[in-house]
Structure 1
Amino acid sequence: MLDFRQMITDTTMDFCAVLLAAGKGHKLKDLTENCPKFLLPIANRPMIYYPLKILLNAGFRQIVIIIAEKDTRKLKEALKSHLDMSEINRIKTCIINAEDDLGTLEAIVHYKDSILPDTTSQHLCVFSCDTIINFDIQPLCDLNRIYDCPIALALSKNSLKQSEVVKIGLRLKSKKKFTDVVGLNESEAKICFYQAEEEIQDQIVIPNISPTSRIKLLTQLVDPHVYIISKQLLDTVSLDEKLRVNLTRIKSEAIPYIVRKSDHSGDSFVSEKGDATKGDHLFEPCRYLMLSSDVLVWRADSINNFYEANRRILQLTISSARQAKNESMKCAVFDCPSNSTVIGTNLIGNNTSFSDEVKNKKNESVKNNVIGSDCHIGKSKLIGCVLFSNVVIGNNCVLENCILANHSRVEDGCEMNNVLVAASQTVQTKSKLSHETVKKIVQFQ
């Protein structure tokens, strides 16, 4: 395995950080009708706070947020609420047309001159706004420096499988048949085979590998969308019209293509599409950093994953609060936000009120919840719920594993489990709901 004690530098000075926040959040559409994806609350902070704070703490001189023009005001307000001015001054925005639905690599290539006006920055560190991770990014940067690779990416053998994630909202038949298949040369931190789940049809064609090579094929890896991308790769794609058209996304298009077109001479690699033909680009192999199992690695890119991100960060926030109380220490990213208080096993926003009876029995009737600001909770029982701001819950309700968006309301006597209530929607008195989504019904005339 690569020995990171051989790191050639310990700074991020020659890297520019890019945070992708212009996505429409199609998988979160029941929560994003009135709220941009990057501002959805996770443990009472906007989603974008977590990747942004990791980048700020890593010491990047410049962080560029790619964002739709219509969302810039909301972004600025969020930054002022959750960061100090010294941090805000290191952030700039790259504004794109709200109607453009660009792929992750497509957006970076299209706006690379705005992102990298300073020619001293040779590489990009790319995060997605839904990346939830706590790790030292330095080894990934050094992996790129050591091997001069087009893309270096973080991977994790996450202990929690998708099948174990709590299911929220309407039960839909899963269309997912496969998972990513990744072939790794562990001794050289090299990716030798990569087939994304979207590209797998009825079979997987494994490349020819010499008996002297040890290639491990893995599935169920978590790709948190953290990439180091070389400026050379961006220049190559931007100057080649065919590549610009075909390589619009990092994970499902660019990485598999580069792996196929890489020099894997030590692995006797032959692509399922054949060797590179005359005129095709030949790339250095992509490299990877396998993160430790005790590192939080997640993406809040769907309703279920968003709920799980809240659950995980709630646990870290409670742990951080206890540590700070006992040792006068605070976690840099997962400390309790200023707009909330940790009470028992709950994170509760400012100006949220409970009935007197719930106050007296809070440890019994309200457990493991993330509750936003300005909510009102009647004489009811809440277990494992995520409430946004301005939510009202009446009396004699029992809610378990539910998500309630801004200004939603649950009237008296309701029983709900694994339910999503969209913004400004009301659950009528004595409703009994399980695995349902309460949202505005659009009527076509």
Structure 2
Amino acid sequence: MVKNMEFQAVIMAGGRGDQMSDLTSSIPKPLLPIGNKPLIWYAVNTLERVGFREIIIITMNSIVNSVKQAISSLKNINADIVGISEDLDWGTTDSLRHIKDKVKCDLLVMSCDILCDFELHRLADVHRLHNTAITMLLAPARPELENVPGVKAKRKSKKPREIIGLSKAKCSKCRVVFLENEADVEEEAMSLSRSLLKQQPCIHVRTDLTDVHMYIIRKWVVDYITHNKSKRSIRGELLPYLVKKQWRKPAEVTKESEISIADPTNTTTDEIESDPRDIFSYLRQDSAIERVLNLSLKTKPLLHSGHKTEDQLSVHAYVYEAGFCMRVNTLSAFVEANRLMAKNISIISPNVAELPLIHTSVKVEEKTQIGSDSMVAEDSVIGTKVSVKRCTIGKHCVIGNQVRLTNCTILDKVVIKDGCTIQNSVICENVEIGEKSTVKDCLVGSQHVLQPGSNITNESLVESTTMMDFE
């Protein structure tokens, strides 16, 4: 059980979806439809199911009301939706600084783009057992789809991997020994410090895992990043920093710095922006540790009491390889998630498993076949002699007669006229496709109108001035 009073839950929903901008140029990433529900709905539903009744959502000012509407069906959870300006180029730690006054205990932080059947109490158990600074969730990296709708790159580049060193092989609960991105490793051989190898002589290196962007973060770590603004991203800067700090000795603390920590009101704004204090200074002030010290006979700080450095500050991970877990942060992942949702919604969101894949308000004419691997949202109309396989069809769509749809994601208010054949494509909202058109391996942006008899392949019809390369 993840107790609401033990952790505060924060959902990061302020990302612009730069890796899928052909979609997010018209629909903000948190509102992208996955299985005919907004992407952020799944994250909130996950927290509601494990017992959270209060959560914080950080998103862009312009979509605060839309996010509120997207999760309105979840009645047992209250969301404090915090808006941030679209003009601010903020990272995830910048967002945490923005809500610092709301943070009262350890945080469960997750991205809004996670689809997962993972039981959150497992991550909490690792966090409690090892008293970690940050506990992260790792899962097998999913390969990119070979045929992604849109323009294909002339030269495919290899997707950078995450190089993760773990303390144990074939174990779900591991110490994170090192954490690197393949793109940041300039040489073929990685160099590891002597102190690291001395403390961790046996390291299991994995390149087949990915950071899911779900973390449990100690309150004192939030205090640290509040006063140290050099760390702008949890994954990009804070995590690698903490992983390296595990193997280093804490600096001695002067009386002046101890006074400054004990009484934050003594700290000026300039000092906060460039705080020179070592991170172990914040670990010393961890409230749980202070309570233990007050009940004991110890008169010296815990960090000076003979404990090893690696026992004082640690980063652990739960490696989840048994179930379903993915991030919807690329166009490829968006397409795959919608194709898989019909078969996986009952495990990702078991409390909505009773909902039919084809909404009761959908009107389907005779001699039409809709596969069990497809979903159709409310108030759509599907004509006669239509074939639908491995597709997600949104709300208020009109599908004409003798239409063939295969491996498609069709958003809301799309009109497809008679005799069309559409394969392996994403059709955005408010699109009209003229009769007897053929669309294959394409992304058709919102508001587009395809004339009757159109025949397009491997095209990305979007309003953006730059075209993306899909790998």
Pick the structure with greater CA Rg: 2
Does 2:350 correspond to 1:331?
yes
Paired residues of 1:199 and 1:252 also in contact (CA < 8 A): no
Percent of aligned positions that are identical: 27
In structure 2, the partner of 1:46 is 38
TM-fit CA distance, 1:264? 7.4
Separation of aligned partners in 1, 2:59 and 2:200? 47
Match of 2:318 among 286, 289, 292: 289
Separation of aligned partners in 2, 1:431 and 1:197? 43
Does 2:166 correspond to 1:147?
no
User: The residue matched to 1:169 in structure 2 has which SS?
Assistant: coil
- Which runs of structure 2 are paired with 1:86-105 in the superposition (5 Å)? 86-87=76-77, 90-105=78-93
In structure 1, the partner of 2:209 is 221
In structure 2, the partner of 1:200 is 185
Does 2:160 correspond to 1:168?
no
Match of 1:344 among 358, 371, 391: 371
RMSD of aligned residue pairs (Cα, Å): 2.7
Task: State the TM-score, normalizing by the size of structure 1.
Answer: 0.81
The superposition leaves residues 220-266 of structure 1 with CA deviations (integer Å, 9 ceiling, x where unpaired) of 213221111111111112223xxx12x2111121111111111379x
TM-fit CA distance, 1:23? 1.3
Task: State the TM-score, normalizing by the size of structure 2.
Answer: 0.77
The superposition leaves residues 99-126 of structure 1 with CA deviations (integer Å, 9 ceiling, x where unpaired) of 112111221123221x31xx3xx21101
Q: 1:339 to 1:250 in 2, by over 3 A?
A: farther
The superposition leaves residues 103-154 of structure 1 with CA deviations (integer Å, 9 ceiling, x where unpaired) of 11221123221x31xx3xx211011111111111011112112222111001
- Which runs of structure 2 are paired with 1:46-445 in the superposition (5 Å)? 46-80=38-72, 82-84=73-75, 86-87=76-77, 90-113=78-101, 115-116=102-103, 119=104, 122-158=105-141, 160-162=142-144, 164=145, 166-172=147-153, 173-174=155-156, 176=158, 178-186=160-168, 189-207=174-192, 208=194, 209-210=197-198, 213-240=201-228, 244-245=229-230, 247-263=231-247, 280-281=278-279, 284-293=313-322, 295-317=323-345, 331-332=350-351, 336=355, 340=359, 344-345=371-372, 346-358=374-386, 365-378=387-400, 379-440=402-463, 442=465
TM-fit CA distance, 1:385? 0.7
Separation of aligned partners in 2, 1:22 and 1:101? 10
Q: Which AA in structure 1 matches 2:186?
A: Q
User: The residue matched to 2:225 in structure 1 has which SS?
Assistant: helix
TM-fit CA distance, 1:339? 8.4
The superposition leaves residues 265-321 of structure 1 with CA deviations (integer Å, 9 ceiling, x where unpaired) of 9xxxxxxxxxxxx9754571210001132x21111101111111111212224x679
Q: 1:415 to 1:285 in 2, by over 3 A?
A: same
TM-fit CA distance, 1:383? 0.7
Moved more, 306-315 or 196-205: 196-205
How many residues are treated as equivalent by the alignment?
392
Q: 1:127 to 1:178 in 2, by over 3 A?
A: same
Separation of aligned partners in 2, 1:202 and 1:427? 49
